[in-house]
Amino acid sequence: MSLENKIAIVTGGSRDIGRAVSEGLAAQGARVVVNYFNNASEGEATVAAIKSAGGEAIAVRGDMTRQADVDNLVAETRQRFGDTIDVLVNVAGGLVARKTLAEMDEEFFEYVMKLNVTSTFLTVKAVVPHMGPGGTIVNFSSQAGRDGGGPGAIAYAASKGAVMTLTRGLAKELGPSNIRVNCVCPGMISTTFHDTFTKDEVRANVAAATPLRREGQAKEVADLVVFLASENSGFMTGVNVDINGGMVVS
């Protein structure tokens, strides 16, 4: 799955799944731009890990819901590594908080949509003009986009469902330019996301109900992303790939 000399941007690429994706792409020879927002130390730690393994990477701060920050990310990438961007992985996003319909207001709902859907739209729109034939985009949805999510995840699930549909539409529009667009839909993966938003007993119950009887690992998701970003998946586009240990199958 060689990505030798490819230029890759990973939004939300500094921790958990994003970090595993950044390291996985670099391990296959890509020069990686690690986007982060809140924590510079995590961004720099990811870059340091890549460099210590013999790879090449830089960290760029930016809020992917802001056009100016997205434009700066693209500009920093081109300034450092050249005009062409080969791979875009949109990991950035989040649940924000668990809220029922009664607890949500319009502002909260719109923010979650902006965080997960608008950010993906903005980065794709900014990168595609600099992506030549053979370019690949990998978006991030969730099992919640398939099944509606757990308690208090209505807005999150709706936004991730939108990312899945956005992926299908982009694949049709960009396919004639030989740019492929796919999406991964993780289930219960052992990350700080679930450390923050999911109770231990719920995680244990979900793991017990999963056919493989465990949570997934960030590296397992990253391995899938690397496959979708590489020529090994050359006839795949518009696909939303489940990775959840068999909990939800499509």
Q: What angle do CA 155, 156, 157 make, to 5 degrees?
A: 95
Euclidean distance between CA atoms 194 and 187, whole angstroms: 11
* Region at 170 (left for phi over 0; alpha for psi -120 to 50; beta for the rest): alpha
Known active-site residue 156: yes
Burial of 212 (0-12, 13-18, 19+ CB in 10 A): exposed
Contact 243, 17 (CB under 8 A): no
Contact 144, 153 (CB under 8 A): yes
Give me the catalytic one of 36, 81, 156, 193: 156
Task: Give me the active site residues, please.
Answer: 156
